[in-house]
Structure 1
Amino acid sequence: MTSFDETFDLAVQNGDIAGAVMLAKSKSGSTILSKAIGTQNLKPGDDTPYTGQSVMLLASLTKLLTSIAALQLVERGQVTLDQDVLPLLPAFAALDIFHGYTADGKPILTKRHNPVTLRQLLTHSSGAAYSFTLDSPLAEYRTRIQGRTLLNGDTIDTMFDYPLLFEAGEGWQYGSSIDRVGQVIEAISGQSLEDFFAANIYAPLGLTTGTFWPDRRRDLDPHRAALTYRSPETGRVVATSQEESLTDGLTEPFGGHGLFMSADDYLEVLHSLLADDERLLRRETSALMFRGHLSAASRARLGEQMQNADWTVGDFPSSMEYDWGFGGMLIDGAFHDYHRKGTLAWGGAGNQYWFIDRESGICAVLGTQVFPSGDKKVEKLLTAFQKEVYERIGKGRQRR
């Protein structure tokens, strides 16, 4: 049987990944796993190794930090979870709801009526979707009706100016809701998300690599990990310009996918929430992150989508026992091979993955840069990583 170390070493040798970093900590702060393999980029003659300080595009791992920042404002009494935040989001408030097409191909649109709360934005139950995800019903609208590419736009309002899919609270759809949360944070605080994160997340934890604007941080240049994609011809990862389509040209921080950070720093965020050390959030507030917040209708829709979880990154078996906490997917049952009930977890388009399992007393992150999401070769590595972490603490599979 191939060992954990051999599995990842072979993945680099075979071109399944250029490199990766895998980190896990216990609640007490002891190291469970710390492994980095491969190189930061694929440039000939450049063998700079991946390390815990390699700076990656977090993609949707950004959403956790934006959720934390919003909860900090809730703690301060500057906004409530169930407050209608549409007055702070005029462009979002003007969006219609999409219901499909007429027989002759015209879009069917209706006006939105329900208020939209911060809770609904934080849990992807606002009606906002992505046009560029797998099987998105809005992909055709974006290209044929609007005549634009899927990722066209330099601001949140221009990139996500297509319709909603349902009235807030009446469904569930992964999408741009957390980018709208970022706009709420900026409107209330009077700061850019870059500055708010620096003062309220990076400073309390002593983080040094987080930024939405890595090109302005020349000190990060030696640590930048290149983005890659899998060549359909060879099956090996090759350098990609995907970074440009995700973040290049943006003129404001995207709280849903725009942050860059090292895995070392990201693990510190996870560990603060696991240890409940109150450096980021009070205990009563962080507890909210590990509870389900979806309405019955929204949770039912999430369950339907999780019957085929190919659109996710990570180990999410088909089940109806999912909910959405604040910052990630909530494991809401004992169906999972390793994650215990109450585990919060999510992934990013670079096939990164994180989780916080408070019952087991562990947190972990796997960082790599293989685009797009859902890569089957990396998925096997994510499963091996997760298995190794749990076995190292003596908590192997809970299902046999």
Structure 2
Amino acid sequence: MAYREFEDVAFSRRSLLRGGAWLGAGAALAGLPMGAAAFAKDSTASATWTNVAAMVNKYAGSPLANMVASMGWGQQSPEIIAKGTLALGGATSAGIDSLYRIYSMTKPITGMAAMMLIDEGKLGLDQPLAEILPAYANMKVQRTPDGSITDTVPADRPITIRHLLTHTAGLGYGIIQKGPIKDAYEEMGLIPGQVSRIPIPGLGRGVPVTSLEAFADGLATLPLVYQPGTTWSYSVSLDLLGRVIEVVSGVPFDEYLATNIFKPCGMTSTWFQVPESEIGRLTANYGVVGGALLPIDPANASIYTLKPAFPFGGAGLVSSPRDYDRFLRMLLGYGKIDGTRVMGELAVRVGTSNLLPEVVDTAGTFADGAGFGAGGRVGLREQAGTYGWGGAAGTVALVNMKIGLRASLFTQYMPSDAFPVHGAFPVAVVADLSAMQG
């Protein structure tokens, strides 16, 4: 479909990237899990994911090009439910090794990388960020959130690593904020994400800086939106954490992930840039306009085949259902997969627990009714044990540490709330769990 078809279509950045996607799976995860006391699953039994399969059949092929669900127990191989093709009208079937833009499902990976460094004693959970990046020593805060960027007050307390992991550092996000702070992010190139090579009206994104160092340095010159440690606000904090990781580890952030997570986990199809040899596995991403799907990032002209401005720790990875399931398997193994120790057990336990500062309330936010761990939402009370997050183009993944469940869903469209995929998936999972329990 010709790119010029977008000339009469206006997207807003907030609209294109909103919902249970780049903004997280949000309340969609609230229905999980059923606690271990309420659900006694024999992990050796064969699971029947009838409702999940019905959902895949409902959406894949029409209206969406494809959908792949990966369901697993403990360390067992996943059951894959897949339908559709890599692109609408295409001939190549989607499956466990197809490639998807996972957007904010990058955040839990970045969060766990930080937990590894904390476990090794190279980083502290409550360590002030300024000890690693001195430019953050004397931060200012907008007197009015999203108001003037010159009418500021001093920060009451330092930003810590805990704050970065949990979106409580007071930082903003170009897809969330309004007014002068949003404009300043764009003008300074503080743009930690990408959608398309196509110039989409209403989605002006500016020219991003070309390194994590430049991103971190530029961000430090702007005021915070909120006082650190007081408010849950979706932000660029996991992208900034990428810079922290490379400073502390002494190696580039993308290299750190490849060496310390992807390789030992056996994640051979996860990259910030899709290699030319693998483009044939890449799905197409679609923009939903008036109920119609328009290709905003076709595989053969995908922006993900180009080197990104810098490795986006908050929303930059492309991965496969097989690879992301291996990441989830590693978490369920408390840091081990196939006999390989990837990260420490304590690091996993802490990273998948509620790390929010005590004064922070998530009511009315994308994490409403839940806690937050290392880059992902965590369940509280009857939902305890759940950890996961979603991506802006229709992906979502979670684990339940109590019952040993892994569940993930992959498709590609934006905005994520154009179809109720993020909400429908956990509902389908819970329905199947209930049937198994019965």
TM (norm. structure 2) is: 0.74
Partner SS, residue 94 of structure 2: coil
Match of 2:102 in 1: 58
Tell whether the 8 Å contact from 1:100 to 1:107 is kept in structure 2 after alignment: no
Distance 2:206 2:330 in 1: 34
Distance 2:349 2:184 in 1: 44
Match of 2:174 in 1: 131
Partner SS, residue 319 of structure 2: strand
Partner SS, residue 356 of structure 1: strand
Distance 1:92 1:179 in 2: 15
Q: How far is the alpha carbon of 1:64 from its aligned partner?
A: 1.0
Structure 1 vs Structure 2 CA RMSD: 3.1
* Structure with larger RCO (C-alpha < 8 A, sep 6+): 2
Match of 1:35 in 2: 81
331, 342, 347: which one pairs with 1:280? 342
Q: Structure 1: which amino acid aligns with 2:96?
A: G
Distance 2:156 2:51 in 1: 56
Match of 1:100 in 2: 144
1:129-159 Cα shifts (integer Å, max 9, x gaps)? 21213xx3x3553238976845642345559
User: Structure 1 regions of 5+ residues with no counterpart?
Assistant: 313-317, 335-339
Tell whether the 8 Å contact from 1:86 to 1:116 is kept in structure 2 after alignment: yes
Calculate percent identity across the aligned residue pairs.
25
Match of 2:129 in 1: 85
Match of 1:365 in 2: 408
Partner SS, residue 381 of structure 2: coil
Distance 2:343 2:145 in 1: 45
1:210/1:3 CA distance change after superposition, 3 Å: closer
Match of 1:337 in 2: none
Distance 2:109 2:149 in 1: 39
1:96/1:106 CA distance change after superposition, 3 Å: closer
Distance 1:62 1:218 in 2: 21
Partner SS, residue 97 of structure 1: strand
357, 376, 379: which one pairs with 1:328? 376
390, 396, 400: which one pairs with 1:353? 396
Match of 1:315 in 2: none
1:231-260 Cα shifts (integer Å, max 9, x gaps)? 22xx13221149978996732211111111
Tell whether the 8 Å contact from 1:247 to 1:258 is kept in structure 2 after alignment: no
1:270-306 Cα shifts (integer Å, max 9, x gaps)? 01111225322221221102321112222x1x1232x
Q: Structure 1: which amino acid aligns with 2:208?
A: G
Q: How far is the alpha carbon of 1:26 from its aligned partner?
A: 0.5
Structural mapping, 1:262-301, within 5 Å: 262-278=320-336, 279-298=341-360, 300=361
TM (norm. structure 1) is: 0.81
Tell whether the 8 Å contact from 2:163 to 2:229 is kept in structure 1 after alignment: yes
1:249/1:80 CA distance change after superposition, 3 Å: same
Partner SS, residue 167 of structure 2: coil
Residue 72 (str. 1) matches residue 116 (str. 2): yes
Structural mapping, 1:7-22, within 5 Å: 7-15=55-63, 17-22=64-69
Residue 122 (str. 1) matches residue 168 (str. 2): no
208, 213, 219: which one pairs with 1:153? 208
User: Structure 2 regions of 5+ residues with no counterpart?
Assistant: 1-49, 189-203
Tell whether the 8 Å contact from 1:151 to 1:246 is kept in structure 2 after alignment: no
